[in-house]
Structure 1
């Protein structure tokens, strides 16, 4: 059953007095609790679509419902957690204080945790930051700061996480470590995740579905179901099945780029 439903959605911007079409006739259905990645060439509207889903931007045409409500209603009800490319951590707050910020804003305490919510300290321990609870952002590496941003979204209580290329600024080794940590946390908590990336292997490893977008104006050119077993261990990257999905997605992207 569709949790996020997008129908005939289009988005335009005015640049230098000219209309630019960013998205055109987008149709997409996303199931609750699924991990879905958007992939496509630069400028195809992936991040724009993410913002429209999250209620940060409105489309000119078409309809979108999230849990049967408008994105703006869901946003007002704090149903979205955002993870940008660079973690938005307050430098004067410790790691644990930054983690607890969403709960403080929502006036909730650790004793108010719902059954399906994650404890901030347990999440930090799960990503290897248990010894850094009282450290400040300046004392952490870029990868460590990004871990805080990711697990803070899981601890926020929001059922939908919108992640806009959260690993793009990281080196390859750190990126791979965080990818494995993210999939383990998601498999435990099963939030609905919309993930924007340019990395094909990342999309295959993390996702239940990969949405391939065409060059501008962005359209959904193909949705590929990733039928790999869960939980996904690190060894699955070395499997022939994983490699076949990577090749398939690469060929689909090349076709859309050359068309």
Structure 2
């Protein structure tokens, strides 16, 4: 048995309740202990989870108990599986709030493979609030693009973008909306973002593969061209367990 895996597995004992002090099933106690290790950085993103055998040896739990704990972490997106190579801790994505970047480009620079599951791509009339935010008249139309965004086949976000139909041909939108806007000469250069903590409703939970009531970040992005014209309104729901937004703060002089 791999000594490193056994050493890591043995650390879980510090986070398990004493025998008989918890009414939770053993698999839930083990899953909770592993979560704490991830939160404290003792198991880092991309690091292999201790094998079932090493966890069994360290805790004395049965294979069924250990496997149930691992499956619980997998369902919550805390780990991912590599066929034939075991389970690994899912990396937490940090996105700086000061950088205007699309999902595809952000994943590419992290070495992850970005993909999408299309929910809607259509042209139609804007809603009243979209007319105001995009500066459109009643006779103009918008392109609607709704997708589940994935990194290495794991759902991270739901994006619902709206842009003026004159800004981009819907047929040119393949992976990245920003690539299509750039090709048409309508790439935004600045944006305002509003973030709000929320809990996933049933639809969000199903699309993101998480439990109803799990934490999510609701984000609205309002992007502009260099001439000040509004070009994009995107409303997104990001998984709270996989996405952090980082802001650098400076003392005002």
TM over 0.5: no
TM, length-normalised to structure 1: 0.28
TM, length-normalised to structure 2: 0.29
Structure with the higher fraction of residues in helix conformation: 1
Structure with the higher fraction of residues in strand conformation: 2
